A = this chain, B = another copy of it.
Amino acid sequence: MKHPISPEEAVAGIPDGASIMIGGFLRCGRPQRLIEALLASGKKNLTIISNDTGFAGEGIGALISSGQVARVVASHIGTNPDTQKGLIEKTMQVDLVPQGTLVEQIRAKGHGLGGVLTKTGLGTIVADEAEVLTLNGEQWLYAPPLTADFGFVYADRADMVGNLAYTLTELNFNPAIAMAADTVFAEARVIVPVGAITPDDVRTPGIVIDHLIARA
């Protein structure tokens, strides 16, 4: 059984310089309360690993604007001019990764695999910074597992065991991150009694969740 904590308590233990994986795709399925608490905490030199960096001044975008982020690993920053500016002016390290590779690198870590072998990026500038392996006569781009100190995930429903159920397009990177990060905080729309989520509806087992965020 988990003892739900507040978003403020959750981020209190995050040191400056920490790496944090954040679920969500733009505004959808994003752990907004955790992000806001991280913003309010003023923690610095953070590495954010996420599909995107949201919109300027909002959500992850607010963390970018506030200068709390030293490094971004993302697949798409087109919705946030601040992140693009940071990349162009080199005020921030921004690593752009193909979306399918990024989420599979996260899964590789969570599933104890040694990395990802993909065709994506072969023959492009992405391959210039990667290892290309020849296996059984075929070329594959190798991408290593991605680790993070913390993971912020959002779910539609959580139970007190920490089991998570998602809905519609809120899944995105959340299930992969829940398996991968060292310490995982789960923010849910609602917390329901144990048993209220059927075994078939749970997508993330509570045993990988470290802390549930209490209701607002």
A-to-B contact residues, CB < 8 Å: 104, 108, 111-119, 131, 133, 135-136, 138, 140, 142, 144, 165-168, 199-201
Copies of the protein in its oligomer: 2
Q: Are A115 and B135 in contact (CB under 8 A)?
A: yes
A113 interface neighbour in B118, B165, B201, Cβ under 8 Å: B118
Q: What's the least CB distance linking A167 to chain B, in Å?
A: 6
A201 interface neighbour in B133, B135, B200, Cβ under 8 Å: B200
Q: Are A199 and B168 in contact (CB under 8 A)?
A: yes
> How many angstroms from the CA of A82 to the CA of B54 in the assembled complex?
58
Q: What's the least CB distance linking A24 to chain B, in Å?
A: 17
Q: What's the least CB distance linking A175 to chain B, in Å?
A: 13
Q: Are A115 and B117 in contact (CB under 8 A)?
A: yes
Q: What's the least CB distance linking A156 to chain B, in Å?
A: 9
Q: What's the least CB distance linking A36 to chain B, in Å?
A: 27
Q: Are B114 and A117 in contact (CB under 8 A)?
A: yes
Q: What's the least CB distance linking A118 to chain B, in Å?
A: 6
**A170: nearest residue on chain B (CB-CB)?**
B200
